[in-house]
């Protein structure tokens, strides 16, 4: 099949009759991505709640939505889809007050650690919530196109996945991270681990080392990890958030190779967060002449957030049969994160002493 880059899917179908969205949390991600995406997609926002009255009033006024006075008032909106943009350790408190059977989207990570994820999963099961985790990288236009290209066999069989990051991440933008014991993998590389799980499935295990940097006190900002997929598939992540030496040699990119073709992606948002640079997807398709640019119709921020919400809305109305990154599936991403921290804490294979 001749490769047509413009024929690759890049967006999620819209729900026919979107329900009102009620957002919990009036922090930076809501103004940077949730609300811009929902406005662009035409999804109605009923309002938002945050215990910080000043923040909630300000954001509500900026976006012309209602500021709810309590969690209970927000949770009482009839037929709403609940959108949690709360700190990881607070998600479960909000889930507990939602009506049984409600549709909910929970920001990543799914709790602070695997015990937190299990608690969230248990509450979602008890209350029959139709709940998904906001692993929205899966819905970025570049990633939807990549997965379509893989499904259409333009790469042959995927045998190699390399993620390479050398950048300067402004951790100070997220006050809730201050003092937390788990940062890099749990908050950032979790998006890549989740996306890799969607493309390659669950690995057999992981070797990882994650560490901080002598220039600051963020718990970890650098990670090397190898995901073990056996003898045919190699998967590695090299992540350095302390490459603060100007833009020239910074990078945030994936190289995905198949037996017959390959893909290159640049994840632009992280290179100038949250303003971002344009994303890039190029494909070297099976039977083609070389690298072909895929013209992208949007970026990770904010478009992926619209696709993520569209799937949940469509699942809630019966238009989609599958809920992508349901809490059941997302728990496995949290298990991979947990295994990476366990691996990092364990000693590596030691060297023999010279006789
Ligand atoms: N790409 C992404 O997916 C992405 C990017 C950034 C942040 N996040 C996630 O989004 C969440 C919020 O991040 P942020 O950067 O906006 O943080 P933030 O610290 O700017 O905002 C968090 C807000 O949640 C509020 N809050 C605390 N408890 C609450 C409760 N019970 N109900 C309602 N609000 C409550 C806080 O008062 C605060 O205003 C985090 O879980 C973070 O991991 C995801």
Q: Is 36 part of any domain?
A: yes
CA of 138 to the centre of ligand 1 (A): 20
State which of 26, 29, 334 you would mutate to test the pocket of ligand 1, scoring each by most atoms of that ligand within 8 A of its C-beta: 29
Residues 185 and 252 in one domain: yes
Task: Kindly list the distances between the CA atom of residue 258 and the CA atoms of 159, 161, 283, in Å, as whole numbers in the listed order.
Answer: 5, 9, 11
The domain in which residue 265 lies consists of 138-286
Q: Which residues make Cβ contacts (< 8 Å) with residue 235, sequence separation at least 6? A: 160, 161, 162, 196, 200, 203, 226, 227, 229
Q: What mean pLDDT do residues 313-332 have?
A: 98
CA atoms within 13 A on the CB side of 14: 12
- Ligand 1 atom showing the smallest separation from residue 30 Cα: 16
Q: Which structure tokens are listed for 235?
A: 């998967």
Q: Are residues 96 and 184 in the same domain?
A: no
Residue 215 clears pLDDT 90, i.e. is over it: yes
Looking at 162-176, 301-315, 336-350, which range is the least confident one? 162-176
3-state secondary structure 86-134: CCHHHHHHHHHHCCCCCEEEEECCCCCCHHHHHHHHHHHHHCCCEEEEE
Q: What is the pTM of this model?
A: 0.97
DSSP tag of 169:
-
pLDDT at 270 over 90: yes
CATH code assigned at 195: 3.30.360.10
- Confidence at residue 275, expressed as pLDDT on a 0 to 100 scale: 84
Q: Are residues 229 and 122 in the same domain?
A: no
Buried b (16+ CB within 10 A) or exposed e, 281-310: bebbbbeeeeeeebebebbbbbbbbbbbbb
Atom number, ligand 1, closest to the C-alpha of residue 86: 24
Are residue 58 and residue 159 in the same domain, yes or no? no
**Distance in angstroms (rounded) separating the CA atoms of residues 99 and 132:** 16
DSSP state for residue 201 in the 8-state scheme: -
**Position 93 pLDDT exceeds 80:** yes
Structural domain total, the chain = 2
CATH code of residue 81: 3.40.50.720
143 and 113 share a domain?
Answer: no
Q: 205 lies in a domain?
A: yes
């Amino acid at each position: 099949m001749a490769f047509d880059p413009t024929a690759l899917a890049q967006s999620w179908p819209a729900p026919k009759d979107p329900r009102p969205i009620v957002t919990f949390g009036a922090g930076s991600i809501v103004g940077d991505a949730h609300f811009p995406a929902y406005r662009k997609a035409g999804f109605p926002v009923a309002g938002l709640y945050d215990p910080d009255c000043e923040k909630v009033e300000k954001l509500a006024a900026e976006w012309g939505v209602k500021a709810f006075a309590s969690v209970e008032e927000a949770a009482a909106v009839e037929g709403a889809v609940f959108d949690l943009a709360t700190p990881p350790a607070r998600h479960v408190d909000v889930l507990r007050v939602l009506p049984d059977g409600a549709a909910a989207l929970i920001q990543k990570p799914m709790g602070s650690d695997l015990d937190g994820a299990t608690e969230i999963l248990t509450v979602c099961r008890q209350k029959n919530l139709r709940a998904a985790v906001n692993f929205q990288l899966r819905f970025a236009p570049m990633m939807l196109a990549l997965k379509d290209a893989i499904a259409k066999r333009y790469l042959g069989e995927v045998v190699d996945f390399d993620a390479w990051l050398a950048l300067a991440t402004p951790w100070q933008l997220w006050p809730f991270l201050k003092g937390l014991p788990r940062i890099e993998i749990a908050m950032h590389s979790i998006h890549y681990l989740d996306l890799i799980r969607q493309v390659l499935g669950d690995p057999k295990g992981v070797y990882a080392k994650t560490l901080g940097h002598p220039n600051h006190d963020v718990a970890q900002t650098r990670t090397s990890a190898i995901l073990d997929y056996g003898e045919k598939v190699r998967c590695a992540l090299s992540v350095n958030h302390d490459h603060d030496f100007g833009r020239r040699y910074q990078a945030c990119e994936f190289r995905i190779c198949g037996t017959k073709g390959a893909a290159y992606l640049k994840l632009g948002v992280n290179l100038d967060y949250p303003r971002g640079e344009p994303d890039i997807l190029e494909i070297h398709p099976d039977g083609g002449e070389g690298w072909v640019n895929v013209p992208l119709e949007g970026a990770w921020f904010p478009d992926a957030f619209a696709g993520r919400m569209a799937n949940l809305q469509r699942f809630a109305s019966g238009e989609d049969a599958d809920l992508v990154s349901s809490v059941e599936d997302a728990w496995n991403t949290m298990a991979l994160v947990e295994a990476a921290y366990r691996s990092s804490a364990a000693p590596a294979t030691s060297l023999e002493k010279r006789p």
